[in-house]
Chain A
Amino acid sequence: MKTENKEKNNDMISDLPDCVLLYILSLLNTKDAVQTCILSTRWKNLWKNLPTLRLNSTHLETFQSFAKFVYGILSLRDSTTSLHILDFHRSGIIWPSLLKKILKYAVSHNVQRLNINVSDVVSHLPSCLFSCQTLTSLNLSFKYATVLFPYALNLPALTNLSLKCLIFCAGDDGRVEPFSTLKLLNSLIIKYCKVRDAQNLCISSVTLVNLTMISCPYSFTEFKFELSTPCLLKFKFWGIPIQKLCGSNNNLYSTKHVDINVAMVLNSMDTPFLLLKWLAELANIESLIVSVLSIVPDLFKVEFPFLRNLKSLKVKLRDIELEQAVAMSQTEAVELGVAFDAEFEPFSFVPDGIIDFLIQNSPFVDVNIIDF
């Protein structure tokens, strides 16, 4: 059945080993990668051994065509090939059965990096996901906070965890401490999450190096949290400080780099004082990026013998990313039927004396004011 062109087929790319061609195909969205099956015999079955699947609904018009595409991949892909990376994006509706199927497939094919981004309301995730032995990186991103994040995790290889719009809940001991079983956790991102029953979220990890926490700058999603992270090097926080960082025992002695963006939506008198308490707890930091503290009477009368090692101070006047987050959360609040009446006024000046106050104990500090 081969045509006479067969002998002339000596293009540069087709002579390369499978692993090189598969590496290129892995960088493409999987729909385009599958279409290369019609290039020539060399390419006909190549896609079936792809170690990376990038399934993105924006490349398909309707949900039906997306569902057919996903089922087509899963049924024809070589099932002995491990799936190292799964990148799954679905904007719009999704059948729970489809999400369940793809997640179970990934876990049973030794997935290492999983990135799930779904905009539909999801009620729950298959439990096998949270006992996957091969998973090193997990990113769960939802539009609505409707999925409970389990309190018992068995993910022994996990180093990177990123969660958007999930709900944390208490375990059998009554504590909300979901990360303490992750023995290799290095990086944690918590974005727009909630905690059930107004409990404290305890972030306990002896290995955690990078922590990012971003909350919607309107009050009802703010939750209290407590850090027990002796190896934490970088801490980024966007939201409103509402409690101390470590409870009674300060263990943030490793923390060197801090980026705090305070959403001053509530104009609370307590916020600047709480922020100063945080800076006292983060005593060893070398670089600090902070959004402008508002001035409240008596703020500078507070004794502040901290930040002795500070080498770099950056003061943000406005933060475009934060403003976008506010704008987005406003839209989402409207979509959720929630009244949104918080005021957000980004500051456009640095109040007198604030920089001198922060650097009063650090003789060798480089100060920058970042204006956007």
Chain B
Amino acid sequence: MAAEKSSIKIITLIAADGSVFEVEPNIVKEMKTVQSYIDELDQNTVSIPLPNVFGNDLAMIIEYCKKHASEEETKEAKEEFDFEFVKRMKSDDKLRLLQAASYLNMESFLQFMAKAIAAEIENQSVEFVRDYFQIESDFTPEEEAELRKENEWAFK
């Protein structure tokens, strides 16, 4: 099993919009969803469709994985990269990448995106959080008032 895995040279990832990415096996190690595909297959080249991830997002995730998989980069360089990586994203991008990280089952990238999102809603009102996440309430005004009353100790 181990020998088969190491014989794989290139992995082809196909995003939802059809764009194709060729990456080395160490880049997808963090993507458990992809890894489980690879483990099941017995081929030298693997092509994996990812119907829930768009090309732009996949490109960003691969960029992140390449940086973090690199042994030449210092810890400081990786931190600097993370900082710039988040800085250039809009809130929609963050939510999409969080979704992609969840689908691809990438633990550390998921935590990284969750932290970036938490930093934006930290110490903000629940109304801000609702707008940020674009959540439409399915409560009637009466139901919401009831919930606020039930948990009034948290709304002081």
Q: Hey, which bits of chain A sit against chain B, CB under 8 A?
A: 1-3, 5-6, 8-9, 11-17, 20, 23-24, 27-29, 31-32, 34-41, 43-44, 60-61, 65, 68-69, 71-72, 76
Give, as a whole number of angstroms, the nearest-CB distance from B133 to chain A.
Answer: 4
> Are A12's CB and B95's CB within 8 A?
yes
> Are A44's CB and B147's CB within 8 A?
yes
- Residues of B within 8 Å of A, CB-based: how many? 35
Residues of B within 8 A of A5 (CB): 136-138
Residues of B within 8 A of A16 (CB): 98-99, 102
Given A11-B134, A12-B95, A23-B111, A35 and B126 contact (CB-CB distance below 8 Å): yes
Residues of B within 8 A of A3 (CB): 138-140
Give, as a whole number of angstroms, the nearest-CB distance from A17 to chain B.
Answer: 7
> Are B154's CB and A9's CB within 8 A?
no
> Are A36's CB and B102's CB within 8 A?
no
> Are A11's CB and B136's CB within 8 A?
yes
Stretch at the interface among B17-25, B63-71, B113-121: B113-121
Residues of B within 8 A of A35 (CB): 126, 129, 151, 154-155
* A27–B116 CA distance with the chains assembled, in angstroms: 10
Give, as a whole number of angstroms, the nearest-CB distance from A297 to chain B.
Answer: 45
* A366–B94 CA distance with the chains assembled, in angstroms: 44
> Are B138's CB and A9's CB within 8 A?
yes
Residues of A within 8 A of B147 (CB): 37-38, 44
List B89-136 residues whose CB lies under 8 Å from chain A.
95-96, 98-99, 102, 110-111, 114-115, 117-118, 121-124, 126, 129-130, 133-136
How many A-B residue contacts, CB cutoff 8 Å?
109
> Are A13's CB and B148's CB within 8 A?
no
Given A1-B140, A27-B118, A28-B121, A11 and B151 contact (CB-CB distance below 8 Å): no
Q: A11-B134, A37-B147, A61-B156 are in contact. List 8 more A-B contacts (CB 8 A).
A: A3-B140, A5-B138, A9-B135, A12-B99, A20-B102, A27-B122, A37-B151, A41-B138
* A41 contact from B110, B134, B139, Cβ within 8 A: B139
Give, as a whole number of angstroms, the nearest-CB distance from B137 to chain A.
Answer: 5
Residues of A within 8 A of B153 (CB): 65, 68-69, 71-72
Give, as a whole number of angstroms, the nearest-CB distance from A232 to chain B.
Answer: 24
* A242–B47 CA distance with the chains assembled, in angstroms: 68
Given A37-B147, A39-B126, A44-B147, A13 and B95 contact (CB-CB distance below 8 Å): yes
Residues of B within 8 A of A13 (CB): 95, 98, 133-135
Given A20-B110, A38-B126, A31 and B138 contact (CB-CB distance below 8 Å): no
Residues of B within 8 A of A31 (CB): 154
Residues of B within 8 A of A11 (CB): 133-136
Residues of B within 8 A of A8 (CB): 136
B143 touches A (CB below 8 Å): yes
Q: Name 28 A/B residue pairs within 8 A (Cβ), A-sorted.
A: A1-B140, A2-B138, A12-B96, A12-B98, A12-B133, A13-B95, A14-B135, A16-B99, A23-B114, A27-B114, A28-B122, A31-B154, A32-B121, A32-B122, A32-B129, A35-B126, A35-B129, A36-B129, A37-B147, A37-B151, A38-B126, A38-B137, A39-B126, A39-B133, A44-B147, A65-B156, A68-B153, A72-B154
Q: Hey, which bits of chain B sit against chain A, CB under 8 A?
A: 95-96, 98-99, 102, 110-111, 114-115, 117-118, 121-124, 126, 129-130, 133-140, 143-144, 147-148, 151, 153-156
**3 closest Cβ pairs, A-B complex:** A27-B118, A72-B153, A34-B154
> Are B134's CB and A12's CB within 8 A?
yes
For the residues of A in contact with B, the DSSP-based class is helix
* A17–B137 CA distance with the chains assembled, in angstroms: 19
Residues of A within 8 A of B121 (CB): 28, 32
Residues of B within 8 A of A40 (CB): 135-139
Residue of A nearest to B122 (CB): A28
Given A20-B102, A39-B129, A44-B147, A29 and B123 contact (CB-CB distance below 8 Å): yes
Residues of A within 8 A of B138 (CB): 2-3, 5-6, 9, 40-41
Residues of A within 8 A of B155 (CB): 35
Given A1-B143, A3-B139, A29-B123, A34 and B118 contact (CB-CB distance below 8 Å): no
Interface centre among B111, B129, B135, B138 (most CB of A within 10 A): B138
Give, as a whole number of angstroms, the nearest-CB distance from A52 to chain B.
Answer: 11
* A34–B134 CA distance with the chains assembled, in angstroms: 18
* A17–B99 CA distance with the chains assembled, in angstroms: 10
* A48–B48 CA distance with the chains assembled, in angstroms: 38
Residue of A nearest to B111 (CB): A23
Give, as a whole number of angstroms, the nearest-CB distance from A249 to chain B.
Answer: 37
* A43–B136 CA distance with the chains assembled, in angstroms: 12
Residue of A nearest to B129 (CB): A36
Residues of B within 8 A of A44 (CB): 147
Residue of A nearest to B96 (CB): A12
